[in-house]
Structure 1
Amino acid sequence: MKDVHQHTAETIQRLEQESLQVSVKSWLDDTPVSSTRSRFFHHAGFLHLPNFVDTSTCYKMKECMQEIVNNEWDTQQMDSFGTSAKENTARGDYFLESAARVHFFAEPSALDDNKQLKAEFQENKIAALNKVGHGLHLRQGPFSEYAFSVKISELMSELGWNDPLLPQSMYIFKQAVVGGAVNSHQDSTFLFTEPRQSCCGLWLALDEATTENGCLWVRPKSHREAVRRQYARNSARESDPSAPQFLMKELYEHSISWDGGLPGIGSFDDLMQAGFIAVPCQPGDLLVFSGELDHLSLPNKSSAARHTFQLHLIEGKDTTWSASNWLQYENPSRPFPRLHAGLDQFRAYEDEN
């Protein structure tokens, strides 16, 4: 087996050289890009920024999440979260209503047959969670302070977003031992914009992310491929309450055999042969990637959790949020917050969160 870390280093070195030698255009609007970071991002589809925030910021986010779980999670009202085809289409109202709120989603393996927390998690609830979402950026505290920081705003401007909007945030736990795989996917499948795709993911490591505890794997240059699937609300639900809440629409025929799953049996060799590289991160590192980039993470088989805080942005200029996307605010007149407008813009809505 080829060394995973050597494979990543060699691939990134090659991509860096290519990005400086070829003409690079933005995948957003096909305009030329100039800065070294922007050239690499638009050429490779991702950008790893070490030490983007300091470790004290990571600590504040983790501490805040512990308080949120302790004070707000009613374990009688929850759902589990997985990424299989069956789990994707079976999501219910609790998921839908999380768009502008803070809802809690457990690891499927942490629940018993009655969908209640297993005994071993009763005294340590946070260890049962898969994620918390999707409106953490809409409340005061370290999550919104980071999301609407000048540093994030300037980064998105450098990478080519004119008027970035922030529809979604989530805290992912990737728990020790029980943290499951996240199958291969493109984020634009779930955050679809028209007439062109404009989603960008910002993946902030709060813990060390390694190949043992489920770091992200990305497939460089796959962002130039079209979005293969669209996760959409099922219009048949209006006339048939028994119909699935959501559909996963195949948009065209393609040769990506692992789409929605894992290459081969999900071994390191299988992933590398399919074109993926591992991207280990230290606490405070930021991984930025296009919504069309193919990415995944393997199960956490270690004794160390891998917490991350993730933002998903879209372009507000000349693009429209799909009306069939799962994430829609209950108040249809409420706009997605504008990244460049800072914190004050959404305080009028705090009572909704």
Structure 2
Amino acid sequence: MDFTQRDETLNSLQQKIDDTIESSTKTYQSWVRGTVTLPPQNDSSYPTNRCRFFDTHGFILVPSFASPPEIASMKSHMQQMVQNEWNPAQSTHVFRTDEKQLDAQGKSDYFLDSASKTHYFAEKDAMDETGELKEAYRSNKIMALNKAGHGMHTSPGPFRTYTQSSKVVSLLKELGWRDPVVPQSMYIFKQAGIGGEVTSHQDSSFLFTTPRQTCIGLWLALDDATLENGCLWVRPGSHREPVRRQFARNPKHFGDGLVYSGDDGEGDRTQPQMIFRSLDGDGKEVPWDGKLPDGSLPTPECVGLYENGFIPVPCKAGDLLAFAGELDHLSLPNNSSQARHTFQLHCVEGEGAGVHWSKENWLQYPLGEPFMKLNSH
């Protein structure tokens, strides 16, 4: 699928937008806010066309959201951070989303401690059998990275500037967020040749809020993202399905308070830090959760993905893909010679909107340290 075919697909979805505005009652069904009373049609908060697209299909594409200078600044700054901060000999941790995810992310304080700072995670195929970088990557270590995260927006520089920009705040407001805060940001490398797949998942599994789900992913392409180098695939309409499972802190490890520092606390440190908890729900059965649907490969055929309702969304550098936390999405391995860098924000509603961050989430800032609020910028 090229960009022309992508636009044709999105145009066909535009024509299928549900009549989400009930003329008799003057209400609107927002994904993040639920059923809301409509303001007058000339009011600035009246749902825009792309807001309706988002609420109907669970995602929107915003072309040219970031400028070439912004992109260049982010990529240059990331290169400097890796060069100055990451010592693979001291801290090399692999990031995975496959069947070994709990082993990779559920047994190390390095992952938990990345909540409000930047840590570095390697691709599994960049490591040798001893757990060290393969020789081919030692002279160019950035080529071994899967991602950096999860608090990149908390430090001065282009990532924080972008996060606090008026265009990010305006987009969130347009889509219905009233008190957006930023718990997480990350830079994904999707390296040429070794960039691994990201299996089917819902972001709200990892960024759980109550009494309703409010996570939104803001996926910014820093390179052209194509079928060949691992663009995002989404399943339109799946954001109406409940969260299938929750990536939760294990009370057997942390104790009932789910918090500890070092060896403090009441839990059993021999138990895994994280667990996947299946959630009850009456949504569509998704046998590929945490995996790829059968027949996902090879590219570009991807027959299994199309058969199960997924569509690819190729992006040009600077395009933004925004999607709801319950939207089913994935990406395939990058077997091409072109990297696919992205910068991703995850925002949720804050306490001002009556929404609470789950204490069971893996991501917890140090006590007393709040998430970045965006409304004030």
Q: TM-score range by the shorter chain?
A: over 0.9
DSSP 3-state at the match of 1:201: strand
Unaligned runs of 5+ in 1: 343-353
Residue 17 of structure 2 aligns to a residue whose secondary structure is helix
Gaps of 5+ in 2: 22-27, 39-45, 255-266
TM superposition shift of 1:175: 0.2
1:285 maps onto 2:298 in alignment? no
Count residues with an aligned counterpart: 339
Please report how far the alpha carbon of residue 227 of structure 1 lies from its aligned counterpart in structure 2 after TM superposition: 0.5
What does residue range 160-175 of structure 1 map to in structure 2 within 5 Å?
A: 160-175=176-191
- Is 1:340 matched up with 2:375? yes
Residues 4-59 of structure 1 show CA distances to partners (whole Å, capped at 9, x for unaligned) of 87874454223211227553521112225621111111111000001011111111
| Partner of residue 256, structure 1 | 286
Match of 1:314 in 2: 348
Q: Does 1:199 align with 2:215?
A: yes
Residue pair 1:213, 1:299 contacting (<8 A) in 2 also? yes
* Corresponding residue number in structure 1 for 2:264: none
- Letter in structure 2 aligned against 1:200: I
Deviation at 1:265, TM superposition (A): 3.1
Residue 56 in structure 1 maps to residue 69 in structure 2: yes
The amino acid that maps onto 1:81 is: F
1:148 is aligned, of 138, 156, 164, to 164
* 1:69 Cα deviation after fit: 0.4
* 2:149 matches 1:133: yes
Q: How does 1:1-353 map to 2 (within 5 A)?
A: 8-19=6-17, 21-23=19-21, 25-30=29-34, 31=36, 34-75=47-88, 76-91=90-105, 92-238=108-254, 239-252=267-280, 255-267=285-297, 268-316=302-350, 317-330=353-366, 332-342=367-377
Amino acid at match of 2:274: F
Superposed displacement of residue 114, structure 1: 1.9
Q: Secondary structure at the match of 1:104?
A: strand
The residue aligned with 2:258 is none
- 2:146 maps to amino acid: N
TM-score scaled by length of structure 1: 0.92
**What residue is the counterpart of 1:347 in the other structure?**
none
Contact 1:90/1:244 (<8 A) preserved? no
- Range that drifts further, 145-154 or 261-270: 261-270
- Aligned to 2:248, what secondary structure does the other structure show? strand
CA-CA distance at 1:252 after TM superposition: 2.4
- TM-score when normalising by structure 2: 0.87
Mapped partners of 1:242, 1:101: distance in 2: 26
Distance 2:232 2:319 in 1: 12
CA RMSD of aligned residues (A): 1.6
CA contact (8 A) 1:231 1:248 kept: yes
What one-letter code is carried by the residue in structure 1 that aligns with 2:272?
Answer: P
What SS does the corresponding residue of 1:133 show, helix, strand or coil?
A: strand
Aligned equivalents of 2:133, 2:18: Cα separation in 1 = 52
- Tell me the secondary structure at the aligned position of residue 327 of structure 2: coil
* Partners of 1:90 and 1:246 within 8 A in 2: no
Deviating more after overlay: 80-89 vs 126-135: 80-89
* Amino acid in structure 2 at the alignment position of 1:206: L
Assess if the C-alpha contact under 8 Å between 1:89 and 1:248 holds in 2: no
CA distance in 2, matches of 1:280, 1:299: 14
Q: Which protein shows a greater Rg?
A: 2
Q: Which residue of structure 1 aligns with residue 261 of structure 2?
A: none
Tell me if structure 2 keeps the 8 A contact 1:78–1:94.
no
* Larger CA deviation: 79-88 vs 190-199: 79-88
Relative distance call for 1:20 and 1:273 in structure 2 (3 A) is closer
Q: Kindly indicate whether the alpha-carbon contact (under 8 Å) linking 2:18 and 2:56 is maintained by their aligned counterparts in 1.
A: no
Q: 1:346 is matched with which residue?
A: none
> Does the 8 Å CA contact 1:5/1:278 hold for their aligned counterparts?
no
Given that 1:103 and 1:134 are in contact with CA atoms closer than 8 Å, whether structure 2 keeps it comes out as yes
Moved more, 259-268 or 7-16: 7-16
- Pick the structure with more helix per residue: 1
Q: 1:320 to 1:300 in 2, by over 3 A?
A: same
Shift of 1:240: 2.2
Residue identity over aligned pairs, in percent, reads 51
